[in-house]
Amino acid sequence: MVAAAAAVTIGVFGACGVAPDAESPEATPGRLVEISEVAREDCLVVGPLVDGQVTVVDCGADDAVPVVGLAAVGDDAPDIAPAAAILNGFAQSACQPSFDAYAIEVDEPLTGKNLISVIDEATWSGVGTTVLCAVGEPE
C-alpha cells in the first residue's frame, strides 16, 4: 500500500530565511536547480519541473513557498517509476515526516495549506529517490 511506504527523512529544514528584497521584490528571477541541490533556505514556485529542475526564487517573491525538508521514497518503492497516482502516494508519504516536523516547528496545524512534494520520475531510481518537500499557502 502506498500509504504504508516507509519514509526516510534526510533532513528537516526551517522556514525560509531569505529576506525579501524591499526595493525590488519582483525583480528577482527564478533559477533552475536540481532537486537534490536545493538548499534549506531556498523557496520554490509551484509548477512542472523543467529538465528535472525546480524553479528557486527569492522567498520574498510572489507565490514563493518555503522548503521544509528533503526526503527519500521508502523501502517498498519499485525499481521503475510507477503511474502518476502511485508516484503521488510515494512522494507524499516520503514528505509526511517533514510536514509533521514543520507543523510542530511553526506550532500550527497545516490544515488548508498546500503540502508540496517534488519528485523527478525521469530520474526515478527506486528506493532512495529524492523528494523535495515544501509547504504553500492556499491560493
Partner 1 sequence: MARKLVAAAATGLLVTAGLFVPASTATASTACSGSSITINKPSGAEAASTASGHGHVTGNHYIRSTTISAGKVIYTWWADNSGGSNGDTWDTFYSTKTC
Does residue 54 belong to the site contacting partner 1 (CB under 8 A)?
A: yes
- Toward partner 1, which CB reaches closer, 43 or 119? 119
| Least distance to partner 1, CB of residue 64, Å | 14
Under the criterion CB under 8 A, does residue 73 sit at the interface with partner 1? no
Site for partner 1 in 90-109 (CB under 8 A): 91-92, 109
Based on the shown chain and the rule CB under 8 A, indicate whether residue 138 belongs to the binding site for partner 1. Answer: yes
Q: Give the length of the chain.
A: 139
d(CA 60, CA 18) in angstroms, rounded, equals 7
CB crowding 111-132: b at 16 or more within 10 Å, else e = eebebbbbbbbeebeeeebbbb
* 3-state SS, residue 56: strand
Name the residues that contact partner 1, by CB under 8 A. 46-49, 52, 54, 84-85, 87-88, 91-92, 109, 111-122, 136, 138-139
